[in-house]
Structure 1
């Protein structure tokens, strides 16, 4: 391994370990951490690989850092594959600069230190493309099988990996290699991929294909409006930072106007993602990390091509973009770790993570010495954090009118128990209206403040003899 590259990996590892130590767990991180604690063939909202990876590290004592170590290691592996892939380009900049500026995006950096299903795709995408460009009409069976195995692992990571399938067709159309489209050896790849994703198919077959149904309505629900699209676009520009958004768009068009097969592979794997999620964004605002493959693949191409002409204004724009991205990244990471900047009441970047360790400690104290009792929240994202910080996970319920992963994990009925509901400022329900209780009593409140500004507040409400959801809920 190149000495300078080893230094780069060591620096990235140290940097991420430091900033992964401080922040409380986020809703998604907690959810996928619980996957690893509750191993299954698949899960309601995602395929199982993210949980299986967390399970490999389950020997570590529970902490926020332990939940993030798998992603940090995978981030280094992804960086290695990234480095090997860009060696195929005619580089106008150092590969280390391309790596650093791509990973200076706050969201890309976050997914390389917090384990999401998308993190796994960031690891697998470059081996997948390298495997594809190495295929030929007379390639041995093992190359076709390898491509199928990697594609299957992508499918085992996230359902939107299905968008990688049309990418294969687009690639060979761009190459004008039409014979490859109908090559009988694809049977090797197809069978290999099906074997790898068989746990997902098996679990869904057992559960009436509920996960496929959920994903279809989750991504494509709602009626089309331009407001949804505008919100989605704004979130992406903020998350990936405007200069990097520009470089990704520039890389997209440059990768189309080329005969370089590696650029064409990037375009082929980017096009279905951007088309699908652009369409979806009119239906409902999409989360910015859903399109991360588009940016991860195209930012380095955009930067490399932009700096092809050594014009002074381009160099200054590139340097300014790099500097701005790094300042923005470090500012956010420092704020998330050390809470330095006062923010408006109930409009803080910490609102989803602050206070949960204290809240669950308080809830456990209120539950102490109560016989047939448990703690409940009214939303799955609250449930993930409640379970992560709970002293006794068997006494945590998510009670709402939506089917979610917790319906598969909650094996004991809450009916007849005295339930201590935890309400938050952002998920506040009228417990007496939504649930059937003999009596409801507000027993305590907790305010979470940072720099004397409200971040969140919590209510603890007893529901005596819980009897289920009310008809009007």
Structure 2
């Protein structure tokens, strides 16, 4: 491995210390709190993501408490990302431009932010840089050892985020001759073997993550400005004021060798993939973040050979850094912030509730964000009760529900117009909390239909199965049923109560691990042109849950 220049090590150390300080003084953001919740129950998979982010949080918690106990490993990985980007660049001139390298990379907005935030993109960036480093060595001199390492890195990539499959696919497409390389096949075998535990987890959990991301996620009608124009704005936002010269470097770079082709395929492939996707849904900036790695390499190589690019990327990079440093201060000090950000006031918010309710568990309606944030800062039990107007999440599949069953809880909702106590909610929302002395919910009940689509004109009875996955019996009279009609974009819009006919009317209890058999007819709807429906179950007067899958309605 190359020896790192002293200036490189000094600047790396400074950035590491800055990120540690930032991590310590910045309240968690909501996604970080959610991933902290993941780490309280380690598993080979989670509802929204593979397990790498939870693993990082768990590792961090062994070294520190509080926010640093969530972010410490991210600070380490971000340093590792910079090291591997540097090592991949083989231009001998680079040692004379260490400062330029740091200005370029530190000025990249999300590469900067993920220097301390713990999000799935943090390990994604690190393992993308590692993958490129190992791949460069592999194509130069393939061997069994490098194939095994490459396979393990590919596995770690997809353990970080499902989007990582694009990194692997585009780089492999850049060198199609690898299909004839026995070492490449060994790498693929090792990657699949390493990923087997997550495959098994997906199988045991009915492929819940895949189903959500591909089939259940709600959408809305295409909007050119928000979707496609927004995508191009995200491309600019990744690099701030250096964007012109970074993309010029991309345009000027030619695939003169296998590694350069890999960088170009990764960058152009990712951009093209999400450009096409932008005609279907709104693209989030972090979805395209992997091009920060390939473009950091491309842009720095271009800087080393082009004086004009070197001068302007350095100048504009410094402007970016000044702005990003100001934003970092804003994350900590709300008083200098022009707006309320999600890292502001979370400790105080949690204390404002826990000071009044003590250790009484708090159930938040429709908020996988508020529940873990409250638990993190109060140290008390919380749960997100998700109804059919929201979406499923980790609280839908883990054991959080069992921790509040048959206990006195404070039920908090922004939709209540009155209650026992008024509650300030994050993002400057207001809500109320209502005490429930014997809280009981059955959100894991499953409503199963054999059909995947049904005609809008159907007036025949539809068979309905209700499966009880719990290890206890449930009184049937505690359950009420609804049909929820959704738009063509899978957004719930109209809830209509139904009274399905029980096949065995003598039954009064749904036994543990058992199934009830009903029939029902679709109720008349008022909304225009529904595209889907699902069966929802309400228990003990709570709002209907997300118990059934979306069933397509056809004319």
Query: Would you say same fold, with TM above 0.5?
Result: yes
Q: After superposition, where does 1:136-155 map in structure 2 within 5 Å? A: 136=139, 139-155=142-158
Q: Contact 1:27/1:385 (CA < 8 Å) preserved in 2?
A: yes
Indicate the RMSD between aligned Cα atoms, in angstroms: 3.0
1:184-333 matches, within 5 Å, as: 184-217=182-215, 221-227=219-225, 228-238=227-237, 240-255=238-253, 257-306=254-303, 308-311=305-308, 314=309, 316-333=311-328
| TM superposition shift of 1:214 | 1.4
- Residues 1:106 and 1:138: Cα distance change in structure 2 (over 3 Å): closer
Q: CA deviation at 1:307?
A: 5.9
Alignment counterpart, residue 396 of structure 2, candidates 389, 404, 407: 407
Are residues 181 and 219 of structure 1, via their aligned partners in 2, closer, same or farther at CA, if it must alter by over 3 Å?
farther
Contact persistence 1:375–1:422 (CA under 8 A): yes
Tell me the SS of whatever aligns to 1:285. coil
Q: Is the 8 A contact 2:331 2:343 kept in 1?
A: no
Q: Does 1:470 align with 2:543?
A: yes
Q: Tell me which residue corresponds to 1:111.
A: 114
Contact 2:151 2:186 in 1 (8 A): yes
Residue in structure 2 matched with residue 22 of structure 1 by the alignment = 25
User: 2:407 and 2:200 mapped to 1: Cα distance?
Assistant: 35
How far off its partner does 1:447 sit? 8.4
Query: Which whole-Å CA distance do the structure 2 matches of 1:9 and 1:144 have between them?
Result: 30
Contact 1:86 1:95 in 2 (8 A): no
User: 1:89-139: CA deviations, max 9, x gaps?
Assistant: 764961442233222223211112112111112211222123223335983
Superposed displacement of residue 374, structure 1: 3.5
1:75 counterpart SS class: helix
1:441 pairs with 2:419: yes
* Distance in 1 (alpha carbons) for counterparts of 2:277 and 2:42: 31
Kept in 2, the 8 Å contact 1:71–1:111? The answer is yes
Who is 1:396 aligned against? 383
Q: Please give the residue correspondences for 1:162-177 in structure 2 after superposition, counting only pairs within 5 Å.
A: 162-173=165-176
Q: Per the alignment, in what secondary structure is the counterpart of residue 61 of structure 2?
A: coil
Question: Which whole-Å CA distance do the structure 2 matches of 1:117 and 1:447 have between them?
Answer: 26
How far 1:407 moved relative to its partner?
1.6
Looking at structure 2, the residues matched to 212 and 130 of structure 1 have their Cα atoms a distance apart, in angstroms, of 30
CA contact (8 A) 1:156 1:197 kept: yes
What is the CA-CA distance between 1:62 and the residue it aligns to?
3.0
The TM-score with structure 1 as length reference comes to 0.83
Matched, 1:358 2:356: no
The answer to whether the Cα contact below 8 Å between 1:363 and 1:375 also exists between their aligned partners in 2 is no
Matched-pair contact (CA < 8 Å) for 1:50–1:115: yes
8 Å Cα contact 1:44-1:405 kept in structure 2: yes
User: Which structure is higher in helix share?
Assistant: 1
Alignment size in residue pairs:
438
Whether the 8 Å contact between 2:77 and 2:126 is mirrored in structure 1 is: yes
CA–CA distance in 2 between the matches of 1:172 and 1:335? 45
Query: Could you say which residue in structure 2 is the equivalent of 1:8?
Result: 11
Higher RCO (Cα < 8 Å, 6 or more apart): 1
Q: Deviations over 1:189-237 (max 9, x none)?
A: 1210011111210110001111111122478955543221223333453
Please state whether the residue corresponding to 2:428 is helix, strand or coil. Answer: strand
Conserved? CA contact 1:93–1:307, under 8 Å: no
Provide the TM-score with structure 2 as the length reference.
0.72
Q: CA deviation at 1:403?
A: 1.8
1:155: how far off?
A: 1.1
